[in-house]
Amino acid sequence: MAPAPAHWDLAVVGAGPAGAAAALGALHADPGLRVVLLDRADFPRDKACGDGVGPHVLDLLAEVGVTGVVGDRVPVDRLRLGRGGLVAERRTARPAWVVPRRILDARLVDAAVAAGARLLRHRVRELRQRADAVVLDGEVSAAVVVGADGAHSAVRRALGRPRGPVALALRGYAPVAPGRRGAQVIEFGTRNQPSYAWSFDRGDGLANVGYGELLHADRPAPTRAHLLERLEALLPGATGGGRHWIGHHLPLSTARRRLPAGRVLLAGDAACLVNPLTGEGIHRAVATGIAAGRATAAALREGRPDRAGERYARATRRILLPHLRHTALAARLARSPRLVEAGLRAAAADQRVFDDLVELGLACGRLTPTVALGLGRALLTPARPTGRPQEPA
């Protein structure tokens, strides 16, 4: 007879920011919970990402007792947005940090383990729901499971949930090019919309650089060579000396995303919650991870783990739904070059517009009246020639 699977109150599949945050959220609410983090990799490990950590992420982590995550990193308080010669560059209301995921994820896992979670190396392949528990691979049993296993989530597939729109990006590390030191730089493409290249200064002589674009069902997926060519075309010199190139998929959010009810929850990329306007995913991962952990703790406290998903869905609707609707609309509007350029002119002219767009792209902001008025003024004002060349065809 096979041994009974080990039983936990909460099993979290995937120990990235969403998974670690789920463990932290649950244990902060109830330190006595039995929580296991399952990941197929040993930590520290690399992960393809833009590495940008906004101040809102630190606010969320502080709520569950985690501080000092970026204490030894260099803050970046300049953001430059551009397209075809138009540039909006300003200081942000609060600085961000560029933290390689090899460092960030390991620190969050360490914080979760210190809070009482157990980390196990295990690649989940099968999920079975029973009346009283969820069983993973016949080896791990839990009252509640949080799927935080990324863009290609095995948990999401087991639930039969669709993935939705997807972008493809390529990330590498390269010496910071002249003129981009001390800044996060985003250059929007003028073809294959929506698309953009980025260069985020890490503060140690290197920048996280990359390029991404939306995948289309009627077009072949872009090759590595194409992604590198577009990055260099948009940000000349960005690829020079580049190493550690990794491609990754970004499962983008929509305004109609519905989360499952019951004992199995999805958080972060596994829930297809990447911002479709900017590709930002860490804030949403941490926000939904913490919400999933808290919902689990509350459901277990009531003796109704089968209602964890219902609690979580309510919490995420309150936290994210208006934001998801606004980013979905903004992503559609961004397919218009005229509107993108109007947005850049408005942001260059008005700090308030700039700040609201940053909130929309990096946190839980909305398309505010200030942004709408700024866009209207920019659309009614004739564009000035920039003198900078357009992206080569």
Q: pLDDT value at position 338? A: 92
- Same domain for 172 and 138: no
- Same domain for 217 and 110: no
Q: pLDDT value at position 340? A: 93
Domain C-terminal end among 251, 272, 291:
251
- Same domain for 151 and 294: yes
- Same domain for 139 and 276: yes
**CA–CA dist 60, 58 (Å, integer):** 5
pLDDT tens-digit readout, 270-316 = 999 999 999 999 999 999 999 999 999 999 999 999 999 999 999 99
Six-digit token string for 324: 């998801």
- Same domain for 231 and 121: no
Six-digit token string for 16: 């990235």
Six-digit token string for 14: 């995937």
The answer to whether residue 390 sits within a structural domain is: no
- Same domain for 353 and 258: no
- Same domain for 241 and 215: yes
Look at the chain and report how many structural domains it folds into.
3
- Same domain for 292 and 240: no
388 phi/psi in degrees, rounded to 5: -100, 145
- Same domain for 269 and 348: no
* Beta carbons of 101 and 57 less than 8 angstroms apart: no
pLDDT tens-digit readout, 251-283 = 999 987 778 889 999 999 999 999 999 999 999
The answer to whether residue 150 sits within a structural domain is: yes
- Same domain for 200 and 320: no
With cut-offs at 50, 70 and 90, classify the pLDDT of residue 2: low
**CA–CA dist 329, 159 (Å, integer):** 28
Task: Give the CATH number, domain containing residue 224.
Answer: 3.30.9.10
Domain C-terminal end among 197, 220, 251:
251
The answer to whether residue 358 sits within a structural domain is: yes
Residue 231's domain spans which residues? 166-251
Instruction: Report how far apart, in Å, the C-alpha atoms of 142 and of each of 6, 87, 271, 353 are.
Output: 8, 51, 20, 46
The answer to whether residue 213 sits within a structural domain is: yes
pLDDT tens-digit readout, 232-247 = 999 999 999 999 999 9
Alpha-carbon Rg for the chain, nearest whole angstrom, is 21
**CA–CA dist 94, 102 (Å, integer):** 24
- Same domain for 299 and 154: yes
How would DSSP label each residue in 288-303? Answer: HHHHHHHHHHHHHHTT
**CA–CA dist 244, 226 (Å, integer):** 17
The answer to whether residue 120 sits within a structural domain is: yes
One-letter amino acid identity for 201?
D
Six-digit token string for 157: 């597939």
The answer to whether residue 389 sits within a structural domain is: no
pLDDT at 30 over 60: yes
Considering 129-133, 207-211, 214-218, the range whose residues carry the highest mean pLDDT is 207-211
Q: pLDDT value at position 93? A: 96
Q: How far is CA 92 from the centre of its chain?
A: 19
pLDDT tens-digit readout, 333-391 = 988 999 999 999 999 999 999 999 999 999 999 999 999 999 999 999 876 544 343 44
Q: 385 preceded by cis ω (within 30°)?
A: no
Task: Give the CATH number, domain containing residue 302.
Answer: 3.50.50.60
Q: pLDDT value at position 145? A: 98
- Same domain for 240 and 198: yes
Q: pLDDT value at position 11? A: 98
Q: Span 199-228, mean pLDDT?
A: 94
The answer to whether residue 18 sits within a structural domain is: yes
**CA–CA dist 315, 291 (Å, integer):** 7
Q: Span 93-122, mean pLDDT?
A: 97
Domain C-terminal end among 251, 275, 310:
251
Percent of the chain with pLDDT over 90: 85
With cut-offs at 50, 70 and 90, classify the pLDDT of residue 163: confident
The answer to whether residue 91 sits within a structural domain is: no
Question: Which run of H or of E encompasses 361?
Answer: helix 351-362
**CA–CA dist 126, 138 (Å, integer):** 8
The model's pTM is 0.94
